[in-house]
Amino acid sequence: MFIDRVEIHVQAGNGGNGAISFRREKYVAAGGPDGGDGGHGGNVILKVSDQMTTLLDFRYQKKYVAENGQNGRGANCNGKNGADLVILVPRGTLVREKKSNAIVADMTEQEEFLLLRGGRGGWGNARFATPTRQAPRFAKPGTNGQQMDVILELKLLADVGLIGFPNVGKSTLLSVISAAKPKIANYHFTTLTPNLGMVRMGEHSSFTVADIPGLIEGAADGAGLGIDFLRHIDRCRLLVHVVDVSGIEGRDPVEDYEQINSELFLYSEELAKRPQIVAANKIDIAEDDTLLKKLIAHCGDYGVRVFPISAAANQGVKELMNTVARELSSLPPIKVYEPEYQPPVDQEDEETKIEKDENGVYVVTGERLRLQLAMVDPTDQESLAYMQKVLRTQGVFDMLEEKGIQEGDLVNLFGFEFEYVK
């Protein structure tokens, strides 16, 4: 089954908490703090696998979570770091942030990409020991790992894209010019998934060709199968537009040519400007060359070359492929998308803010400050002294003064309320 677009939730591991512990050993007085640090949470890493050709592996598993860091322990034992989570994706996968649809990474040229960082481990109370604070009864908690809802979108890596209406001979042409074996039959939508083939022009010359399932009128608006696979033309450097000029189905090749180009334009103006070569197929079963001449004249007005061929009879195909190879030699390499996503501010870097609520209480917020005070025990004198030092060095007291706080007013510090005293 060919799956080329999935939505998943990814989450890095949380950091472990620092430990609050004191050395307890017989005949050793005042052993002191020995709480170890928490381990860092595991990162989420995307890695290219050239053995994968679809996103089928993501069809049933939608949530990917890296391992959390372990908490610190006594005897100065640090917690173990969480293992990184490595997610394998096919080469050519485009990674988007779901909410904004912004491009996070293009897994075409890079082999690995650090998608999310794990949370940092918290400090144990041994870190806070000083000559004047010899028994700190507080530690620092670990931070949360980053998380994101992402869209994985596979865009095939092909130099040439075969486009055209259903049943015009694209699959037959691919089977003739390469070793690919697509399903071929005389009815519409035989091709239900894109097919890739390698065309070898000599000992040191080759290129890849993608047979894109047939487009129909309205494809850019979601009609038929075309819209599902138009994304696979995005990276193609050259388009070979296959048109049926036999007239056996009563189709007008000029109308078909214009309709397909119209759908390309509606999908992407940039894609509609991609270099094209027209392959006028099925000349071996045409009653005359009236339709062929009509198409050649029409395309000539746009400066587009037309090659009469019969894919089934392998007629004119070699000349077409020689021209394709010459065109590719002068075209830029396969398109690689630049990142657009701007990561949000790390929670730990969130600045301190103070607002006065409807009850006249000064409410202090800010993730950085909260983490510094999360495991402080306000009932312990040394913990309380540490808290006051943090509030002073972080400028909280100055900010309260600027807000107009008076002695006796209440301050809410992450759920802990106290009266302000100058």
Burial of 76: CB neighbours in 10 Å, binned 0-12, 13-18, 19+: middle
- CA–CA separation, 189 and 241 (whole Å): 17
Would you identify the CATH topology of the domain 160-329?
Answer: Rossmann fold (3.40.50)
Whether residue 213 contacts residue 193, with contact meaning beta carbons closer than 8 Å, is answered with yes
**Residue-by-residue pLDDT tens, the chain, 422 positions:** 568 889 999 999 999 999 999 988 777 666 789 999 999 999 999 999 988 888 988 988 999 999 999 999 998 999 999 999 999 999 999 999 999 999 999 999 999 999 999 999 999 999 988 888 888 888 888 989 999 999 999 888 889 999 988 888 888 999 899 876 655 545 555 455 778 888 988 777 789 998 887 565 554 444 444 556 677 888 899 999 999 999 888 889 999 999 889 888 888 888 888 999 999 999 999 989 999 999 999 999 999 999 999 999 999 999 999 999 999 999 998 888 889 888 776 655 667 888 988 888 999 988 888 878 877 777 777 788 888 888 888 888 889 888 888 888 899 988 888 888 87
Q: Which residues of 243-276 are buried (b: 16+ CB within 10 A; e: fewer)?
A: bbbbbeeebebbebbebbbebbebbeeebbebeb
pLDDT at 375: 75
Whether residue 274 contacts residue 238, with contact meaning beta carbons closer than 8 Å, is answered with yes
Domain ranges for the chain: 1-154, 160-329, 347-419
Contacts of 138 (CB under 8 A, 6+ apart): 20, 125, 128, 375, 376, 377, 380, 383, 386
Would you identify the CATH topology of the domain 347-419?
Answer: GMP Synthetase; Chain A, domain 3 (3.30.300)
pLDDT at 219: 43
Nearest to 75 by CA among 39, 41, 31, 40: 31
- CA–CA separation, 30 and 197 (whole Å): 75
- CA–CA separation, 44 and 12 (whole Å): 6
Alpha-carbon distances, residue 182 vs 212, 239, 280 (angstroms) = 11, 19, 20
- CA–CA separation, 158 and 176 (whole Å): 17
pLDDT at 358: 87
Q: Is domain 1-154 classified as CATH 2.70.210.12?
A: yes
DSSP string, 231-277: GGGTT-SEEEEEEE-S-TT---HHHHHHHHHHHHHHH-HHHHTS-EE
pLDDT at 183: 57
pTM of full prediction above 0.85: no
Tokens in use for 95? 């990674």
The strand pair at 5-11 and 63-65 is best described as parallel
